[in-house]
Amino acid sequence: MPVITYREAVARALREGLTEDAGMFIMGEDVGAYGGAYAVTRGMLKEFGPRRIVDAPLSEAAIVGACTGAAMGGLHPVAEIMTINFTLVAMDQIVNHAAKIRYMSGGQYHAPLILRTVTGGGAQLASTHSQSFEHWFASVPGLKVVTPATPYDALGLFRAVREEEDPVLFIEHILLYSARGEVPDERYTVPIGKADVKRKGDDITIVAYSRMTPVALAAAQALEAEDIDCEVIDLRSLRPWDKETVLESVKRTGLGLVVEETWRTGGFGAEVASTIQEEAFDYLDGPVGRVAGEEVPMPYNRALEQAAIPSPEKVAAGVRKALNR
């Protein structure tokens, strides 16, 4: 099976969409002549032209607002917001307009907007450029939120996202673009709202998403030396999220640990942990654990930044605590 990078998988998904869907276009900052802030749209301006690859002014509110209107008018826009931090200045357009238009119009309008953006820390971009807000959007009815962790899932999920009639946030992690993985040439899709068991195990269930999936897998591999067998589940989607797969796993292992990069307070991990506690309590051998980012603005200093983000070592420590090892 061919091996490609996460960046190549997203670029392939976009090219495929632009080729197959005459109504699709991409609008964002530096998506055209510059080739995208993360080189995902490189070459697309020459290939598809300026009506399909639209360089926008530095106004995220304008980008999302224009794309929402275009989606309501029958087109299929892809709004690229350079980082999820910049969605803060387009929050009204995302939450009050795109997410609600079907409901507030009684079904007369819908907005099949795809909003691509980049989340996460680890690239030394300091506090205002290294945040993870996907859990915020996952709390909003009318939105769907996907967080692929592998090239396979990035391509497959984007294909599924294209079939949606309402807005979807397609959230990529800044440190995953160089990650490599197998992606078949044959067409496939990954359904929105379906988790993936990335590693089978019997002792504890680790639930993660986005970049914390490879972090959890690294911890599970290291714990093999201690005869600890971890099952690792990648949620892949936060809204909707696949509680059935998580609950089935926890009922079998008897223990759960939720891992995410954002702050523990108000994180999506609380939703997962509370659901396990409510619906699988009788199967638990101990409390559901959580590993999350430190409760600080992301530091710029490299050593401090790494200390603020969950690592395989922190996840392994969380597993040992859950197992009383």
Catalytic residue annotation: 129
Radius of gyration of the chain (CA): 20
Are the beta carbons of 112 and 166 closer than 8 angstroms?
yes
* Residue with the two structure tokens 């795109």: 98
Tokens found for residue 321: 């605590």
* Helix spans in 138-294 (H): 151-161, 212-223, 243-253, 268-279
State the Cα angle at 118 between 32 and 169, rounded to 5°: 95
In sequence order, the 6+-apart residues with CB closer than 8 A to the CB of 45 are 31, 32, 33, 35, 53
In sequence order, the 6+-apart residues with CB closer than 8 A to the CB of 69 are none
Which of 2, 80, 84 lies closest to 45, judged by CA? 80
Residues in the chain: 325
Residue 111 and residue 78: Cα distance in Å, rounded? 11
* Helix spans in the chain (H): 6-20, 44-48, 60-72, 91, 101-104, 134-137, 151-161, 212-223, 243-253, 268-279, 302-308, 312-323
Sign of CA dihedral 60, 66, 71, 76: negative
Are the beta carbons of 93 and 65 closer than 8 angstroms?
yes
Beta bridge partners of 231: 205
State the Cα angle at 316 between 321 and 179, rounded to 5°: 155
